Chain A
Amino acid sequence: MNNLIWLIPILPLAGFVINGIGRNTLSKGVIGFLGSFLVLVSFGISLAVFLQVKSTGTPINVTIYDWFAIGDFHFQFAFLIDQLSSLMLLIITGVGFLIHLYSVGYMKDDAGFGKFFSYLNLFVFFMLLLVMGSNYVIMFIGWEGVGLCSYLLIGFWYTNPAYADAAKKAFIMNRIGDLGFIFGVFLLIKYFGSTAFADVFSRAGTQPFAAAPYVLITILLFVGAVGKSAQLPLFTWLPDAMAGPTPVSALIHAATMVTAGVYMVARSNILFTLAPVTMHIVAIIGLATAVVAALIALTQTDIKKVLAYSTVSQLGYMFLGLGVGAYTGAFFHVLTHAFFKALLFLGAGSVIHACSGEQDMRNMGGLKGKLRITFITMLVGTLAISGIPPFAGFFSKDEILAHVFAASPAMYAIGVLTAMFTSFYMFRLLYLTFYGKFRGTHEQEHHLHESPPNMTVPLIVLAILSLVGGFIGIPESLGGHHWLAQYLAPVFQKSAALFTGSTLSGSTEITLMAVSVTGAIVALVYAYMKYVKNGHVPVADTAKRSPLASLSYHKFYFDEIYDTLIRKPLDWLSEFAYNYIEKLGIDGIVNGFGKGSMDASRGLRLLQSGNVGFYIFMMVVGIVSILMYLVIKF
């Protein structure tokens, strides 16, 4: 089995190469089949690897080759498949395959079909590299690679300047994070002399507890995670990233890439556990992101924007979980979130597809009858994200919230409030889209249709996963075994030994669950009353809003604040640099040299009288001067 592991990332890469080269010559059928099938094969191998890891319980370490050596620092190009990465592999290839399948239908009329599939395959390759790497550098390669693919796919319809801008925004914001990440890796090399996970983690305990290096390294790594996983204050790129095709939003900006930050922190859990200061920062930023994004999502009217903010909010939950030491819970949420958020995005894509590209919920409504399968699957996804038992989101979210309560009840209160918001805006989305009367044009109404089977099948599969996905982590308080926690225990073993926080009794846990479920149902009912019973429709863009609603609708003015604080001064600075430093300074010097030599030569060329006698005379004068100089010198 081990000698097949390298095939997992190579197959999507092969897909990228073939589809990339043949994007204009191969037929759409071939491209779609190839792109999906290769990922499916990867999934098959991943499944086999997963089963092996599960049965043996030991990580697989495969060294492909010795990449480079600097002095004593040997750098291996190696893959590490342990419990954590084996699960990520399943998500990436499994969900990835479903989304590929869905894209075949969703993108079938697009001119860039081949390009789309080659990018998608490339993304899968880099994402696999990210999770399979046995050290931080390979992880960083994947980390940069997925950033690149994200850029390419957000700007997929690059002829629209706004989309191209969104792509640039995503890329630049990610760069800020990546800078933190790579500095973190440098520090790892400095303090641990290695980037390999095994070396770093085994040496981690030997340094004094909470020493400055841990805090510094983990903060830098966390900055990387903040960029990649769209946390406060670098989250604004993710909603804009919705400019890309919907399958991209589902795969990259919901299920896989944005969770890379969570994966990375979970992978480095020992380092983070050794740096309590960073843990607090992670928890606070996670919580703040969850609340702010949820508040923004309350008033958004673009169906994909709502989902984007909900993704940001859920990612905030994951970091909150990581911050309080609930690594298993956070990773659990990554898994379930991958299922239901991919489902929601694909469902939204199906809705958009049906409405001829319309994304504004104010122009939807009443789709329940027309899009039966989409409606049911979306309902499952919404229930899952709202944390209604027994759907997947309930288990993962409540595991996080339980740990948060153990750490700080105040944070827990905000967390539950956020969960209520989540439930509200998700049902708001559902009601506005599927209930009531259709509010679009007649033209759109005429075209309403259920999506083809290759789009609905992924929806159904994901809906089933969203329904049952939570059962891998039924907490003991509900009579389960929490299979996931047991499976992942080796990865978090060292952190668990260091964990000092209190644990909750079973009854408290059940109480907490009841509280959050009640909250979610209250929010659900309120949304129902408001949008179905009263038929409320969000007001137009220009309408007057209450200050709070306005704050939320305008995304807390984050973009505007960044604009004023960062972009404007930078603009001013570059304007200044251009006008004064560039034009006067550098151009002045360069032109000055040119002008100076022109003037000098204009004067000097008068010496060139053309008179040969004069030339000879000057030559003699020169020789005499040299001789005189030599005579005087000696």
Chain B
Amino acid sequence: MKTLNDSIQAIPLNHYILLCSIIFSIGVIGVLVRRNAIVIFMSIELMLNSVNLLLTAFSVYRGDATGQVFVFFIMALAAAEVAVGLAIIVMIYRNTNSIDINVLNRLKW
């Protein structure tokens, strides 16, 4: 326990924020450059998790457990989201035989 505390105390909050920002940006880039719907979905999960990590860091920083409760709720939400999202992807695949988002171009006038 003692060593753990030490290892935390040495880290400035900004570094946590920086780490999470970088991972979040990687998620954004992943969404932008990939065409596979599942990979895009995974990038979104990546972004979600970076936020989770940051929330936990803030929670520890402020000594307030609410942040971690919030993380728990986000995870519940993510589970639901993934279930529905993947079901949609399965449906899309069934109908178009592809999960390439470029095929999904009917969302227009």
A contact residues vs B (CB 8 Å cutoff): 605, 608-613, 615-617, 620
B106 within 8 A of partner (CB): yes
Q: Is B87 an interface residue (CB 8 A)?
A: no
Check if B108 sits within 8 Å of A608, measured CB to CB: yes
| Minimum distance in angstroms from B34 CB to a CB of chain A | 9
CA distance A610 to B106 in the complex (A): 5
A-side contacts of B35, CB under 8 Å: 613
Complex Cα distance, B32 from A613, in Å, reads 7
Report Cα–Cα, A273/B106, bound state, in Å: 86
In the bound assembly, the distance between CA atoms of A328 and B28 in angstroms comes to 98
Return chain B residues, CB-CB under 8 Å to A612.
Answer: 101-102, 104-105, 107
B residues near A620, Cβ cutoff 8 Å? 28, 31-32
Using CB atoms, name the residue of chain A closest to B104: A612
The 12 sampled A-B contact pairs (Cβ below 8 Å) are: A605-B108, A608-B109, A609-B108, A610-B105, A610-B107, A611-B101, A611-B105, A612-B101, A613-B32, A613-B35, A615-B107, A616-B32
A608-B108, A612-B107, A620-B28 known; 9 other A-B pairs, CB under 8 Å?
Answer: A605-B108, A605-B109, A608-B109, A609-B105, A609-B108, A610-B107, A612-B105, A613-B32, A617-B32
CB neighbours of A610 from chain B (8 A): 104-108
Flag if B101 contacts A613 (CB, 8 Å).
Answer: yes
Q: In the complex, A474→B107 CA distance in Å?
A: 98
Chain B residues packing against A (C-beta within 8 Å): 28, 31-32, 35, 101-102, 104-109
Bound state CA distance, A611 and B105, in angstroms? 5
Q: Least Cβ distance of B22 to chain A in Å?
A: 15
Q: Count the A-B residue pairs with Cβ separation under 8 angstroms: how many?
A: 31
Closest to B40 in A: A616
Residue on A with the closest CB to B37? A612
Instruction: Tell me the bound Cα distance from A366 to B41 in angstroms.
Output: 108
Q: Which B residues lie within 8 Å of A609 (CB)?
A: 105, 108
**Closest beta carbon of chain B to A84's beta carbon, Å:** 78
How far is it, in angstroms, between the C-alpha of A611 and the C-alpha of B104 when the chains are bound? 7
Contacts of A613 in B (CB 8 A): 32, 35, 101-102
CA of A608 to CA of B105, assembled, Å = 10
- Nearest Cβ in chain A — how far from B31, in angstroms? 6
* Closest CB in chain A relative to B29 CB, distance in Å: 9
Chain B residues within 8 Å of A615, by CB: 107
Distance, CA A146 to CA B50, complexed state (A): 82
Give bound CA distance, A68 to B91, whole Å: 70
Determine the chain B residues whose CB is within 8 A of the CB of A616 once the complex forms.
31-32
Give CA–CA (A617, B40) in the complex, Å.
13
Shortest 6 CB-CB distances between A and B: which pairs?
Answer: A610-B108, A610-B105, A608-B108, A605-B109, A612-B101, A610-B107
B32 to A611, Cβ gap below 8 A?
no
Chain B residue nearest to A613 (CB atoms) is B101
CB <8 Å contact, B102 and A611: yes
* Residue of chain A at shortest CB distance from B34: A613
CB distance from B89 to the nearest CB of A (A): 12
Tell me the complex Cα distance, A610–B101, Å: 10
Most A CB contacts (10 A, CB to CB) among B35, B104, B106, B109 go to B109
Cα A14 to Cα B32 with chains together (Å): 81
CA distance A611 to B101 in the complex (A): 8
In the assembled complex, the CB of B24 is this many whole angstroms from the nearest CB of chain A, namely: 11
Min distance, Cβ A492 to any Cβ of chain B, angstroms: 83
- Bound-state CA distance A611–B107 (Å) is 7
CA distance A617 to B108 in the complex (A): 16
B56 → A minimal CB distance (Å)? 23
Residue of A605, A611, A617 ringed by the most chain B CB atoms within 10 A: A611
- Return the chain B residue nearest A607 by Cβ: B108
Query: CA of A605 to CA of B108 in the docked complex: distance in angstroms?
Result: 8
Cα separation A611 to B31 with both chains bound (whole Å):
13
Contacts of A608 in B (CB 8 A): 107-109
